[in-house]
Amino acid sequence: MRPDPKLSSRGLARLIERVGKACYNLGYTTGLNPAQWAALRYFKDTTTDRRTVTGFANFQGTTKGTASQTVAALVRKGYLERVADQNDRRVHRLILTELGEELLVKDPLQALAEAVDQLEEQDRWALAENMEKVLRELIRA
């Protein structure tokens, strides 16, 4: 099925917004908020040298203070642990605890991944390429 050629950019933007809101709302599960889920994913997937509050803040495009509050909540809940860097004791790396790893098995973003899995492979690639272009334009704005 081909999309309606009359589909407006504004209509498509609203559709993307609705998908984003639906995903965001999924993030309010198991006592976490969307920023906390994003942090857990970040600290699971990023390289060791970027597992800091500053690294997370840069990735999220937020302030260090906001990122620090998110991290502190996850440390209090037992999902992250602060570990002093072996080369520079002033730096603390953040690692997922076993509890954090277990929680990520229930990641609400999995619902979006499963929905995307319903697409044909070529459609997934096209979606990825085009969403990347849209994101780059938004970042430039």
> For 77-103, what is each residue's pLDDT tens digit?
999 999 988 888 788 999 999 999 999
Residue 125, pLDDT > 70, answer yes
> For 56-77, what is each residue's pLDDT tens digit?
999 999 999 999 999 999 999 9
Query: Distance between CA atoms of 24 and 108, rounded to whole angstroms?
Result: 9
Structure tokens at 52: 């800091």
Residue 133, classed as helix, strand or coil, is: helix
| Mean pLDDT of the residues in the chain | 90
pTM of the model: 0.79
Choice between 2 and 25, residue whose per-residue pLDDT is larger? 25
Residue 141, pLDDT > 80, answer no
Would you tell me how many other CB atoms lie within 10 Å of the CB of residue 89? 8
Burial status of residue 140 (CB atoms within 10 A of its CB: 0-12, 13-18, 19 or more) = exposed
Burial status of residue 51 (CB atoms within 10 A of its CB: 0-12, 13-18, 19 or more) = buried
Domains of the chain: 31-108 (1.10.10.10)
Query: Distance between CA atoms of 127 and 87, rounded to whole angstroms?
Result: 42
Query: Distance between CA atoms of 84 and 69, rounded to whole angstroms?
Result: 19
Taking every pair of C-alpha atoms in the chain, what is the biggest distance, in angstroms? 59
